[in-house]
Structure 1
Amino acid sequence: MDIDKLIARINELSRKNKTVGLTDEETKERDELRQRYLNNFKSNFKQQLDTIKYVEDEENNIKH
């Protein structure tokens, strides 16, 4: 499931929870989808952090 569909389904379940409530199966699905979203977010964020280069490090490499 791509991220847009994942978010859409999470939002759909959230709206339903506010109006009529969720069944036990839907609550479990919502929790699993939220966890998948968070894992995806953490993975992407870590990947971005891993690509950061510090200016001081690059300056030190040029001087050597």
Structure 2
Amino acid sequence: MLSKEKLQRINELAKRAKTSGLTKKEENEQNMLRKEYLQTFRASFKNHLHSVTVVDENGNDVTPDALKESKRNKDNPLH
């Protein structure tokens, strides 16, 4: 999870970008923070997916094969 300070900074830069614009240094900072945020979000989402099992109305496990494979080998991304 990203720290509160980083999230506040992302929001501050986004607001300034819409109003007065950003310097090159601030644009670079914004891009780096966005990348870090997306990496954190994707990792969290993937971990959440690994806890999911899909079951049909008859109680049969119908979890997609790609998710089953990803659960077996957590180092590989979902396809």
Q: Which has the higher helix share?
A: 1
Task: Specify the code of the residue in structure 1 equivalent to 2:32.
Answer: E
Identity of aligned residues (%): 40
Which digits, 9 at most, give the CA deviation of each residue in 1:25-49, with x for residues without a partner? 1000000100100110000000000
CA RMSD between the two structures: 1.7
Structure 2 CA distance for aligned equivalents of residues 50 and 4 of structure 1: 26
TM-score norm. by structure 2 comes to: 0.63
Higher Rg of the two aligned structures: 1
Task: Specify the code of the residue in structure 1 equivalent to 2:28.
Answer: K
Aligned length: 57
**Higher relative contact order, structure no. (Cα contacts within 8 Å, ≥ 6 residues apart):** 1
TM-score norm. by structure 1 comes to: 0.75
Gaps of 5+ in 1: 58-64
Which digits, 9 at most, give the CA deviation of each residue in 1:4-26, with x for residues without a partner? 22221111001111221111010
Quick check: 1:3–1:37 contact (8 Å CA) kept in 2? Answer: no
Structure 1 CA distance for aligned equivalents of residues 2 and 45 of structure 2: 17
Gaps of 5+ in 2: 62-79
